[in-house]
């Protein structure tokens, strides 16, 4: 598996799209092969409480989190979307609290 070789692997937006039945198992296998051998950066808008839902299996989710969080440094970034800041300044999106989820509908201008 070629993804085990890089010194740094970056996985962006984990959990953004639903995972198939096989993908959580493949992700776990990747973590096992890279465990303590290379650095890993993972970004997600999901919380740890959502991991059962993301990985579709609470036992597998626990095993994945165990390996992801061991030796981990976590950064929790809260606030408005960086990509939408200019749109908000231009008045295309109303101001909202940082903790309030962004509500985008098909009619929302982007």
Tens digits of residue pLDDT in 24-41: 999 999 999 999 999 999
The pLDDT of residue 110 is 47
Beta bridge partners of 9: 40
- In the chain, CATH 3.40.50.300 covers 2-69
Tens digits of residue pLDDT in 78-108: 877 777 877 777 777 665 555 565 555 555 5
Instruction: Return the residue matching tokens 């997600």.
Output: 44
Instruction: Return the residue matching tokens 């808008």.
Output: 45
pTM: 0.70
- Packed helices 23-34 and 58-69: angle between N→C axes, nearest 10 degrees: 30
The reply to whether CATH 2.40.33.20 applies to domain 2-69 is: no
Distance CA 69, CA 81 (A): 25
* Total residues found in the chain within this entry: 110
């Amino acid at each position: 598996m070629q993804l085990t070789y890089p010194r740094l692997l970056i996985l962006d937006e984990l959990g953004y799209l639903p995972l198939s039945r096989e993908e959580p198992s493949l992700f776990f296998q990747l973590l096992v092969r890279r465990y303590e051998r290379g650095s890993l950066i993972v970004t997600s808008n999901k919380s740890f409480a959502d991991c059962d839902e993301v990985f579709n299996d609470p036992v597998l989710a626990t095993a994945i989190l165990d390996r992801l969080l061991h030796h981990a440094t976590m950064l929790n970034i809260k606030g408005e979307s960086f990509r939408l800041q200019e749109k908000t300044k231009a008045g295309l999106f109303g101001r909202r609290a940082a903790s309030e989820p962004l509500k985008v509908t098909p009619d929302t201008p982007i």
